Chain A
Amino acid sequence: DTAVSQTPKYLVTQMGNDKSIKCEQNLGHDTMYWYKQDSKKFLKIMFSYNNKELIINETVPNRFSPKSPDKAHLNLHINSLELGDSAVYFCASSQMTDKAFFGQGTRLTVV
Chain B
Amino acid sequence: KQEVTQIPAALSVPEGENLVLNCSFTDSAIYNLQWFRQDPGKGLTSLLLIQSSQREQTSGRLNASLDKSSGRSTLYIAASQPGDSATYLCAVPLTGANNLFFGTGTRLTVIP
- CB within 8 Å of B: which residues of A? 4, 31, 33, 35, 41-45, 48, 55, 57, 90, 92, 94, 96-105
Contacts and interface: CB of A to CB of B under 8 A. Distances in A.
Interface residues on B, range: 20 to 34
B89 A43 contact: yes
B34 A100 contact: yes
B104 A99 contact: no
Contacts of A99: 34, 46, 49
Given A99-B46, A99-B49, A102-B45, A41 B98 contact: no
Given A42-B104, A43-B89, A101 B46 contact: yes
Contacts of B36: 102
Interface of B, helix, strand, loop or mixed by DSSP: strand
A42 B99 contact: no
Contacts of A41: 87, 105
B98 A31 contact: yes
B100 A102 contact: no
